[in-house]
Amino acid sequence: MKLKTFLFALLILPLYKYTFAQKRPNIVIIISDDHAYQTIGAYGSKYGKTPQIDRIADQGAIFKNAFVNNSICGPSRATLLTGKYSHKNGFKDNETSEFDFSQDLFVKQLQKVGYNTAWVGKIHLGDKLQGFNYYDILVGQGTYFNPDFISKEGRKHTEGYVSDIVTEKAINWLDTVDANKPFCLVIGHKATHRTWMPDPKDFGTYDSLSFTLPTTFYDNFQSRKAAGLQEMSIDKDMKMGYDLKMFKSLGDMMADGNFKRMSQAQKDSYIAYYRPIYQQLEQGELTGKQLAEWKFRRYMIDYLNTAQSMDRNIGKVLDYLDQKSLSENTIVIYLSDQGFYMGEHGWFDKRWMYEESFRTPMIMRYPALLHAHSTIEAKVVNADIAPTLLELASIKKPKDMQGESFVHVLKNNNEEHRKDLFYHYFENGEHAVSPHFGVRDDRYKLIRYYKRVENWELFDLEKDPTELHNVYNNPAYQPVVKMMKKKLVIQMRKFDDKEAEAIYNVNIDH
């Protein structure tokens, strides 16, 4: 009898392994670059038409309070892969850091249980990848037109528009994977990174819209010294040629690096679209506020036109999953590497712990667990994505992974996840943003700046949601300052940020 039982077990073991493997969800992460939640339909944008991103939200859940730990491109992707904050994964900034792919990554944990893993498109962490069965990545930032890609076969030039190419490569890889194994695919889009270079077929999509100037556009940065020193002003720092394609001559336009990779047909389409706009600008002879507001409008148009191609291509991926009957058992996450400024405080770019930069869009579809049209208010950070995916794949979280799984929130959308949020921006270079760290709870935000500027900021988000009034030195808020400093110490120690704690221990209150 025991022999028959043993033989039966041997017979069903392969079937059991196959069935168990099939229960593990497939994973598709679509990560864009600098895509502001303010420009996404699902987040209530007045202007942005994002039907395919909205489709993920309609069929799944929108996260209203998703944040990043360090609002800049490379460090955000490093956190996604490692589930660790920047000071622990070693990639603190884009200018001085080199990512160590030999450290543990969530994709390596997936590989151990049989996942096929791939990254296609922008990664911005170098080209010595580990943890991926397949990769075909953009060189550095990548280019919008006719970009170069690096794969295990080497470097290759590809003709076309980057959003289309990345999507085609991703779908081609999906066609090669073993249907009996789960897969994890990360699709890294270049859009909507500066400079904003739309696919010519999207020219005109937003040109006729009237854009309302943000209420904080003419912010004077009173009481916020670091904000007053930045170099990311649409008025002063956005370049007429490089950013807005408003060149004094056709020769100057064609000499710009953005155009050197283009085919003649691509150049002709850009000339036909942008030169008449430049001629109208010249005739208007705008100066001062009129010119600043003109630049804001052109920025909005170029940015939103650039996002159109990415959204359309996201639809192609969703269609593929539907057509292959993969949607039910596939987790789809759409997010940006961080938030972005669309004229708030008069700015473009990111980096700050202020809300528009600190918050990121994040939308998730997983029919096996999430109800359609779900809204999640719980505060989550990008470091939480890796442990969440591992739990959904029935894999134990590595001990050094600092993120916390929010699977419990997916099961019960009303649950809380993080009470307080810790942030640390390290880069001391481009756009002259002072390094800073801080803590945010449901109402207050405390920030400590260092290097360029040495000071504190405190905001009451309930009374001052646009963060115009630093109340750190207001006597009425001193009990709040003490409370938030205690929370900051707890967070620094929780994440073992010794650099932040050493700076915190220097008393600058005089």
130 neighbors 147 (Cβ within 8 angstroms): no
Mean pLDDT for 278-303 is 97
Residue 327's contacts (CB-CB under 8 Å, 6 or more residues apart) are 318, 321, 365, 367
Angle, CA 70 vertex, CA 216 and CA 491 arms, to 5°: 105
How far is Cα 96 from Cα 239, in angstroms, rounded to an integer?
25
Mean pLDDT for 97-103 is 96
3-state helix, strand, coil in the chain (%, to 5): 40, 15, 45
Q: What is the pTM of this model?
A: 0.94
Examine the pLDDT at 4 and tell me if it is beyond 80: no
**What are the φ and ψ backbone dihedral angles of 140, each rounded to 5 degrees?**
60, -130
148 neighbors 155 (Cβ within 8 angstroms): yes
Mean pLDDT for 84-102 is 95
Distances (CA, A) of 362 to 7, 166, 189: 49, 20, 15
Q: Specify the pLDDT at position 21.
A: 42
Q: Specify the pLDDT at position 59.
A: 98
How far is Cα 334 from Cα 318, in angstroms, rounded to an integer?
11
Q: Is the torsion defined by CA of 169, 245, 295, 284 positive or negative?
A: negative
Q: Specify the pLDDT at position 100.
A: 96
- pLDDT tens for 323-351 read 999 999 999 999 999 999 999 999 999 99
Confidence band of 300 (pLDDT split at 50, 70, 90): very high
How far is Cα 403 from Cα 419, in angstroms, rounded to an integer?
14
Mean pLDDT for 306-312 is 98
Q: Specify the pLDDT at position 5.
A: 46
Residue 479's contacts (CB-CB under 8 Å, 6 or more residues apart) are none
Examine the pLDDT at 164 and tell me if it is beyond 80: yes
Q: Specify the pLDDT at position 510.
A: 75
Confidence band of 436 (pLDDT split at 50, 70, 90): very high
Q: Strand, helix or coil at 293?
A: helix
Residue 46's contacts (CB-CB under 8 Å, 6 or more residues apart) are 212
156 neighbors 149 (Cβ within 8 angstroms): yes
46 neighbors 342 (Cβ within 8 angstroms): no
Q: Specify the pLDDT at position 23.
A: 82
How far is Cα 260 from Cα 336, in angstroms, rounded to an integer?
28
How far is Cα 301 from Cα 272, in angstroms, rounded to an integer?
16
Residue recorded with tokens 């993969």: 326
Mean pLDDT for 74-94 is 97
Mean pLDDT for 143-164 is 97
Two structure tokens written together for 389: 């995916």
Average pLDDT, the chain: 95
Share of residues in the chain with pLDDT > 90 (%):
95
234 neighbors 346 (Cβ within 8 angstroms): yes
How far is Cα 32 from Cα 279, in angstroms, rounded to an integer?
33
Mean pLDDT for 85-98 is 95
- pLDDT tens for 378-416 read 999 999 999 999 999 999 999 999 999 999 999 999 999
Mean pLDDT for 172-182 is 96
Share of residues in the chain with pLDDT > 70 (%):
96
Confidence band of 269 (pLDDT split at 50, 70, 90): very high
- pLDDT tens for 184-240 read 999 999 999 999 999 999 999 999 999 999 999 999 999 999 999 999 999 999 999
